[in-house]
Structure 1
């Protein structure tokens, strides 16, 4: 699906060892390594690591195809299952990078739709602001819940969307008053 839909960014929220499926089963984790998944060749071109985010630049090449796709996988590894994020700075910075690419993006969690939906709700709010539209987070999340059950499924995840929006607005604002409030 990633190749078929020409996805440039994949954002995964996971805590280490919380899933029966390891990341190594999905893609090669070390720089310069490769793996085959069925008829797909995956080559890890670059790994960049920070405290709470690791990014992997992957080359994806289906068997018999000469054009590869470069996809960046962002791994947010400080997000506990069924919880919100305590520190939203890494989420905001990651989604800002993704928003700048203006390409197809996948948000996923290794366990359910709550964290993926939280990222999607925040990303959708960011996209609306970029287009100059007014953002109503409650309405945005209601629309997402109508489409996908379990999206932003608890108060902590709902709070994460609001904290991330406040942090993002604070970073974008030059106003001293806004800096004090947020």
Structure 2
């Protein structure tokens, strides 16, 4: 009598909805090994070498146009022509310019639109962008005022209130705190539509309040929880300039998506690809190190017990580095 065949090996049991396949586990193992081999000192050295990288096609004529200059928050943060989002809603009489770039990275299932924190005069443009692109979410990574400086205009109404911004009607239908309020994440449900239009766009606006400018949050897990809360579809994401904190989140999300597909990640190359679409993305070495810290933390949570010591070791190394 033939002996019954042994059942096929089962993928590693993990927290979350999906099991980790051998390919995914191998990709994660490679990321852990590469990151630990470089260490914090190696990552800081790597960032020092690539922080001056500029796009292969570094053109920004729309940014420099005299009519558009008042729409730019910072003179030294350009908006690349090759990936900029061209507005068409209510054009003319409105301008087609907004300081925003469409970001697409290999392996990343969603598209990001990286933009600056709106100025008072560009709030209508921001909501035209959201509606035109049928965005499903907006991520706000800054406060309106930080260290006494204006970083972003208050571009949406208070809870259960509505307001007109230029040709756009914006209604804040609901406001709620995030996970137990511990991450200082506030989630707004916002409806936006042009005047005279019956088809509205409803977005989840995720407002993260504990991320300092050019710095990093105290708890990497708060960043991962925020990313997990972003719905599928197009996400409009901004901080103040729309490059530092904004680029950091996009890279973390892209790396995680690639790892979950079993794809190896060369973070340096992904960083350069991102900068080819959004100039100056990821501004500080602490942000570059945070990218690796968050991904290690994600892997630790996804494979309980296997990489706990590695993640803790790296976190301690980051703490001892005392990066600003």
| TM bracket (short chain) | 0.7 to 0.9
Rounded to whole Å, the distance in 2 between the matches of 1:78 and 1:9 is: 19
Contact 2:142 2:152 survives alignment (8 Å): no
Q: Indicate how the Cα distance of structure 1 residues 88 and 81 shifts in structure 2: closer, same or farther if over 3 A, else same.
A: same
The structural deviation recorded for 1:180 is 3.2
Q: What is the count of residue pairs matched by the alignment?
A: 177
Partner of residue 306, structure 2: 177
Tell me, which stretches of 5 or more residues in structure 1 are unaligned? none
Rounded to whole Å, the distance in 1 between the matches of 2:204 and 2:145 is: 22
Contact 2:163 2:169 survives alignment (8 Å): yes
The structural deviation recorded for 1:33 is 0.7
Q: Judge which range, 52-61 or 130-139, deviates more.
A: 130-139
Rounded to whole Å, the distance in 2 between the matches of 1:138 and 1:116 is: 17
Q: Which 4+ runs in 1 deviate beyond 6 A?
A: none
TM-score after normalising by structure 1:
0.88
> Computing the radius of gyration over CA atoms, which structure comes out larger, 1 or 2?
2
1:103-158 superposed Cα distances (whole Å, 9 cap, x missing partner) = 10122112351111111111211222343322222221121123322111211110
Equivalent residue for 2:135, pick from 1, 4, 7? 7
Equivalent residue for 2:161, pick from 33, 44, 59? 33
Rounded to whole Å, the distance in 1 between the matches of 2:145 and 2:170 is: 23
**Is residue 58 of structure 1 aligned with residue 190 of structure 2?**
yes
Equivalent residue for 2:176, pick from 29, 36, 48? 48
Contact 1:3 1:60 survives alignment (8 Å): yes
Backbone CA RMSD of aligned residues:
1.8
TM-score after normalising by structure 2:
0.51
Contact 2:144 2:151 survives alignment (8 Å): no
Q: Comparing both structures, which one devotes a greater share of its residues to strand?
A: 1
What is the SS of the residue equivalent to 1:166? helix
1:65-101 superposed Cα distances (whole Å, 9 cap, x missing partner) = 1111110111111111111223121211111122xx3
**Is residue 167 of structure 1 aligned with residue 297 of structure 2?**
yes
What is the SS of the residue equivalent to 1:60? strand
